[in-house]
Amino acid sequence: MPKPVFNTERCKGCGLCTSVCVRNLIFLSEQFNSKGYQPACCKDDTRCIGCLICARTCPDVVIEIHK
Amino acid sequence: MKGNEAIGEAAIAAGCRYYFGYPITPQTELAEYMAKRMPEVAGVFLQAESEIAAINMVYGAAGAGARTMTSSSSPGISLKQEGVSYIAGAELPCVIVNIVRGGPGLGSIQPSQADYFQATKGGGHGDYRNIVLAPNSVQELVDYTYLAFDLADQYRNPVMILGDGALGQMMEPAVLPETNQQVTDKPWAACGLKGRRKPNIINSLYLDPNRLEQHNLHLQHKYQLIEQSEVRYEEYHTEDAELIIIAYGITSRIARTAIEKARNAGRRIGMLRPITLWPFPSRAIRELAQKTKAFLALELSAGQMVEDVKLAVNGARPVYFYGRMGGVIPSTQELYEQMIQVISGEGGKGDD
Amino acid sequence: MTEKLFTRPKSLLDVPTHYCPGCYHGIIHRLIAEIIDELHVQDYTIGIAPVGCSVLAYDYFNFDMFGAAHGRAPAVATGVKRVHPDALVFTYQGDGDLAAIGCAEIVHAAARAEKFTTIFINNAIYGMTGGQMAPTTLLSQRTNTSPYGRNSEACGHPIRMSEMLATLEGSIYLARVSVHDAIHMTKAKRCIRKAFELQLQGKGFSMIEVLATCPTNWGMRPLQAVEWLKSEMIPYYPLGIIKDSTEVK
């Protein structure tokens, strides 16, 4: 199963990935990372289809897709 | 051989295969000569869209590890200053020829020495120095152009040849050096990783002020080394001289003839001719100040080098100045009269 | 053992960038690095980044790099490529850099058919200095130096650099792309890759103009900026291959 893995500390909370997930799985966390950004995360990674679009959209290579 | 051609041949002998330039009188002949010669030695001649572009091509070629040069004349050298500052900051070796003409502004196309400040005090923004060589014959144009490439590589620093239209046009016999076979190892050059693990970065940006200060201290340390090791000058009849002329380049040749005339008239006049304008032969001048009675700086300017002479002499002896500007070259008789006036105690211009 | 379906290309160093949230520089850097990995040319790639937001690109790319003076990257690249004709040489320039202060350098590098590639980031504003009007700033777009909106009477019209360079014989491949969604990103990558391949084949000058957002200086949230790029920039700067002299007609 494909699974998005977020490097939360690198995330700048721009939200670009949240708009491109075909399953609408990505949202910005209520929590803050040490840089003060609210990082992106996945609400249910079992539903990820591994389309890679979120990873490719991220300007900061925060998201890796593992299998 | 003509002066301009001598520079070109010496550069090729030194292993320079990348020339980037732009036409401007009175150095255009050098560019034209390189346009003809570079293809014959499998080198690159490129006429850039501006002096600014030419010096940045030099920055690229030098950073990529090649022996490279550009040439221009005063207004064009002003345009190049942005690039020269970056080259000095990034510590890249290159040779810049300035066939100086009268200024300011468009000025004239006649020989001048009014770019002394610009050449020796940095010229662009920031704390940096160029090594500045001032030949006074066609043979010296050959020798010092050749040397310039070695000095540039050795110190990773821009080296400027300061000439003028008179030297460029002068026809004299000259012996060319052997072709340089040594390839300087440049492990810092940005030429592709080629198995190296850490990328090479050619750059002059240090956003952290402390790191920039460290970089500046490193540069200053290098400049001190150059000042200790690379001062070049020639003395002429200084041993018993009561008056010492300080003159470089074309002016030193006229001065020499005038000194010969004065010697024949029993006047004890000598000359110290700086060959490196930076580093300046301050110590030699300071030592001469112990023996002589006065100095007279002769320049084709309103008085630029004379300031360095005064700094070297530091008040120990009077320092006089005589100069012509805007491309006017003084006659032997004119300089002779100036020397006689000073040595006869009638003083002259510039004594503080 | 975890298999990675998507990870950082090895030509892009694993370090945080200084770019603002949502800025497209990061995406474009990654696409370039991916292509360099795919073409196996990391060992002989030399990049040149002049002054602009991407001035620190040498801290992010994992290959030899030059910093350059504002606008002068095409001249620097000319020097580099003449010394190393077999290297993959590219400049990475913003709109102020390329279309204003470095206009002479880019035009003449293209005219000479210099065999390097320019990645031209057009975000219609000066980013690094904090949001001033660029030659590519759209009419009525507000910036810090066009606070009432760019007015053609006083400031002229925005320059379409790709079309301008297309008139020169020396430019062989020019494309305008965007990276605002997956489809456009794929197209952008294909174009950059083609430009690099043509360069490696010893062909002339190539440039890929990438439309980019600058949420910070546009005064928008990143997702708003994407919409502005689509609705305002693309109509004035049409996407597509502007010139391809290598196509067999």
Token duo for residue C131: 């949001």
Q: B85: closest CA among B157, B189, B21?
A: B157
Average pLDDT over residues B113-140: 97
Q: Is the Cβ of B116 closer than 8 Å to some Cβ of chain C?
A: no
Tell me, yes or no, whether B68 and B110 share the same domain.
Answer: yes
Token duo for residue C102: 């470095």
Q: Is the Cβ of A22 closer than 8 Å to some Cβ of chain C?
A: no
pLDDT tier, B84 (very low <50, low <70, confident <90, very high otherwise): very high
pLDDT tens digits for range B41-72: 999 999 999 999 999 999 999 999 999 999 99
What dihedral angle (degrees, nearest 10) is formed by the CA atoms of B317, B323, B329, B335?
Answer: -40
Beta strand pairing status for A26-28 and A40-42? antiparallel
| Residue B69 lies inside a defined structural domain of this protein | yes
How close B116 comes to chain C (CA, Å)? 25
Q: How far apart are CA B199 and CA C67, in angstroms?
A: 13
Is residue B351's pLDDT more than 60?
Answer: no
| Residue B211 lies inside a defined structural domain of this protein | no
Helix (H, G, I), strand (E, B) or coil at B222: helix
Tell me, yes or no, whether B68 and B89 share the same domain.
Answer: yes
In chain C, residues with a C-beta closer than 8 Å to the C-beta of B58 are: 79
Cβ B310 vs Cβ B319: under 8 Å: yes
- Among B229, B252, B279, give the residue marking a domain's end: B229
Q: C102: closest CA among C84, C88, C116, C120?
A: C120
In chain C, residues with a C-beta closer than 8 Å to the C-beta of A56 are: 6, 27, 182, 185
Q: What is the pLDDT of residue B140?
A: 98
CATH of domain C25-244: 3.40.50.970
Chain A neighbours (≥3 Cβ pairs under 8 A) are C
In chain A, residues with a C-beta closer than 8 Å to the C-beta of C24 are: 59
Domain with residue B121: its CATH number is 3.40.50.970
In chain A, residues with a C-beta closer than 8 Å to the C-beta of C26 are: 58-61
Q: What is the pLDDT of residue B183?
A: 83
Global pTM value: 0.97
Is residue B350's pLDDT more than 90?
Answer: no
Average pLDDT over residues B143-161: 98
Residues with Cβ within 8 Å of residue C42, at least 6 apart in sequence = B193, C10, C11, C36, C62, C63
Give me the DSSP letters along A13-44: ---TGGGT-TT--EEE-SS--TTS---EEES-
**CB pair distance less than 8 Å for B66 and C83:** yes
Q: What is the pLDDT of residue C248?
A: 64
How close B277 comes to chain C (CA, Å)? 28
Residue type, B144: Y
- Host domain of residue B16: 3-191+218-229
Q: Which segment of B139-153, B169-183, B274-288, C212-226 scores lowest on mean pLDDT?
A: B169-183
Tell me, yes or no, whether B71 and B121 share the same domain.
Answer: yes
Q: How far apart are CA B131 and CA B148, in angstroms?
A: 8
Q: How far apart are CA B2 and CA C20, in angstroms?
A: 58
**CB pair distance less than 8 Å for C20 and A52:** no
Domain with residue B318: its CATH number is 3.40.50.920
| In chain C, domain spans | 25-244
Average pLDDT over residues C56-68: 97
**CB pair distance less than 8 Å for B202 and C65:** yes
pLDDT tens digits for range C118-135: 999 999 999 999 999 999
Tell me, yes or no, whether B47 and B131 share the same domain.
Answer: yes
Chain C neighbours (≥3 Cβ pairs under 8 A) are A, B
Q: What is the pLDDT of residue B349?
A: 63
pLDDT tier, B326 (very low <50, low <70, confident <90, very high otherwise): confident
How close A9 comes to chain C (CA, Å)? 9
Cβ A32 vs Cβ A41: under 8 Å: no
- Nearest chain C Cα to B196, which residue? C43
- Among B229, B248, B281, give the residue marking a domain's end: B229
Alpha-carbon torsion (C34, C37, C42, C45), positive or negative: negative
* Averaged pLDDT of chain B: 96
pLDDT tens digits for range A6-40: 999 999 999 999 999 999 999 999 999 999 999 99
Average pLDDT over residues B103-131: 96
- Nearest chain A Cα to C15, which residue? A10
pLDDT tens digits for range C11-49: 999 999 999 999 999 999 999 999 999 999 999 999 999
Q: How many CB pairs under 8 A join B and C?
A: 133
Q: What is the pLDDT of residue C22?
A: 97
How close B125 comes to chain C (CA, Å)? 13
In chain A, residues with a C-beta closer than 8 Å to the C-beta of C10 are: none
Residues with Cβ within 8 Å of residue C231, at least 6 apart in sequence = none
Cβ B99 vs Cβ B160: under 8 Å: no
Tell me, yes or no, whether B103 and B177 share the same domain.
Answer: yes
Burial class (CB in 10 A: 0-12, 13-18, 19+), B252: buried
Q: Is the Cβ of A23 closer than 8 Å to some Cβ of chain C?
A: no
Q: How far apart are CA B270 and CA B263, in angstroms?
A: 9
- Nearest chain B Cα to C51, which residue? B205
Cβ B57 vs Cβ C76: under 8 Å: yes
Fold of A3-66: Alpha-Beta Plaits (3.30.70)
Average pLDDT over residues C79-101: 98
Q: Shortest CB distance from A65 goes to which of C5, C27, C215?
A: C5
Tell me, yes or no, whether B144 and B248 share the same domain.
Answer: no
| In chain A, domain spans | 3-66
* Averaged pLDDT of chain C: 97
Q: B227: closest CA among B270, B284, B303, B289?
A: B284
Tell me the β-bridge partners of B244.
Answer: B270, B295
| Residue B274 lies inside a defined structural domain of this protein | yes
pLDDT tens digits for range C146-186: 999 999 999 999 999 999 999 999 999 999 999 999 999 99
